[in-house]
Amino acid sequence: MKKCVVILLLLLLPLSGCAVQNEPARAECFAMDTFISMQAYGKNAEAALSRCTQELTRLERLLSISSAEGDIGRVNAANGEPVALSAQTAALLGTALAVSAETDGAFDPTVYPLVSLWGFYGDEPRVPSQAALDEARASVDWRKVSLAGGVVTLPAGAKLDFGGIAKGYAGDALKAVLREENVTSAWLSLGGNVAVLGEKPDGSAWRIGIRDPLDESAVIGSVEARDVSIVTAGGYQRNFTQDGKTYHHIIDPKTGLPAESGLLSVTVIAPDGARADALSTALFVMGTQRALALWRSDRSFAAIFVESNGDILYTENAAFSPSNISKSKMAKFVE
Ligand code: AMP
Ligand code: MG
């Protein structure tokens, strides 16, 4: 009898110990035009998340187009004059331009004049005239951005928009704050961006559901993730309808029009959240075939594509498990 009690106690102790440790600290806020939700584990988690909330306020000011005193606000008011950037913004612009180069401009951080013309910064998006599109397109060209020694110079009339990369970057910056605070396990969700730090406290991988672009309450499957960002770009995230046609917020810089590449969404998984975010936008513009050609030449990221007809394709390194519904459609593994 005594033996049983001891064994029972031994069994219960680690379980109850785990239960305390398994309760995450949580924080939620609205920043960067997005609802943000954070969960962190460990004894310092609460203080760490409160620092994360402050970091989000700082990043919003630094990178938003609507903050006149931030880096992007100052660049966009410079009208051809050089602007000294913070080291962080300079590094992020470097990442943005690297993705522009590798995607042949499908991701272009100078897309501001086009996004503005379509009205996606304000409350009244609308279809612009062809003449206005042609004029705006002439000011969009990542190759004309000069970045040297932390100083950026754009041609007069050109402006930056970090909407396609800032949230992914914010995930990286928050993970850095958490690490500084000795947090080793956390889950962060910023709009279509999820960033995970380490693994779950029980040592298993995080399991991140990938939204069905056709049904906001459904998932197409889930990804097993450790220390990566999982970023989805989709036409469903922001759009408007005019004369019966729907126009979304991801612009093909070559045409000036919302990208029509046969995709409903693209998810990119990579250790660097800023790169994953920029790549997700770029791959959405490029379409599956060009995107897969890039993946085959590189493989430093993984991707999941949902095509217009609902078909799903995923790269062999995606650690993706299609849901039962997806399996009954077509979920195709790409090598
Ligand atoms: P995401 O949701 O990450 O795909 O980013 C979309 C946002 O990035 C848009 O709201 C625009 O602010 C900006 N954007 C749109 N098209 C592009 C593009 N081709 N390259 C870079 N940024 C873009
Ligand atoms: Mg993006």
In Å, how far are 89, 139, 163 from 121, measured between CA atoms? Answer: 21, 17, 10
Q: Which residues of 265-300 are buried (b: 16+ CB within 10 A; e: fewer)?
A: bbbbbbebbbbbbbbbbbbbbbbbebbbebbeeeee
| Ligand 1 in reach of 117 Cβ (< 6 A) | no
Query: How far does the centroid of ligand 1 lie from the alpha carbon of residue 139, in Å?
Result: 16
pLDDT digits (tens, 9 = 90+) for 304-329: 999 999 999 999 999 999 997 766 56
Taking 60 as the threshold, does the pLDDT of residue 231 lie above it? yes
Query: How far does the centroid of ligand 1 lie from the alpha carbon of residue 140, in Å?
Result: 13
The number of the ligand 1 atom at minimal distance from the alpha carbon of 192 is 2
Amino acid sitting at position 85: L
Taking 50 as the threshold, does the pLDDT of residue 8 lie above it? no
Taking 60 as the threshold, does the pLDDT of residue 20 lie above it? no
Averaged pLDDT of the chain = 92
| Ligand 1 in reach of 152 Cβ (< 6 A) | no
Atom 6 of ligand 1 has which residue's CA nearest to it? Answer: 164
The pLDDT-based confidence of 197 (bands split at 50, 70, 90) is very high
| Ligand 1 in reach of 159 Cβ (< 6 A) | no
Taking 50 as the threshold, does the pLDDT of residue 2 lie above it? no
Q: What is the pLDDT of residue 6?
A: 34
Taking 50 as the threshold, does the pLDDT of residue 16 lie above it? no
DSSP codes joined into one string, 206-222: EEEEEEETTEEEEEEEE
pLDDT digits (tens, 9 = 90+) for 249-304: 999 999 999 999 999 999 999 999 999 999 999 999 999 999 999 999 999 999 99
| Ligand 1 in reach of 250 Cβ (< 6 A) | yes
Taking 70 as the threshold, does the pLDDT of residue 213 lie above it? yes
Question: For residue 238, which ligand has an atom nearest its CA?
Answer: 1
Query: How far does the centroid of ligand 2 lie from the alpha carbon of residue 5, in Å?
Result: 56
Neighbours of 61 (CB within 10 A): 17
| Ligand 1 in reach of 253 Cβ (< 6 A) | yes
Query: How far does the centroid of ligand 2 lie from the alpha carbon of residue 37, in Å?
Result: 18
pLDDT digits (tens, 9 = 90+) for 99-144: 999 999 999 999 999 999 999 998 799 999 999 999 999 999 999 9
The pLDDT-based confidence of 9 (bands split at 50, 70, 90) is very low
Mutate to test the pocket of ligand 1, among 33, 111, 211, 266 (most ligand atoms within 8 A of CB): 111
Atom 18 of ligand 1 has which residue's CA nearest to it? Answer: 107
d(CA 48, CA 194): 18
The number of the ligand 1 atom at minimal distance from the alpha carbon of 107 is 20
Backbone phi, then psi, for 262, in 5-degree steps? 85, 15
Q: What is the pLDDT of residue 327?
A: 61
Cβ contacts of residue 281 below 8 Å, gap of 6+?
Answer: 106, 107, 164, 165, 233, 250
The number of the ligand 1 atom at minimal distance from the alpha carbon of 167 is 3
Cβ contacts of residue 19 below 8 Å, gap of 6+?
Answer: none
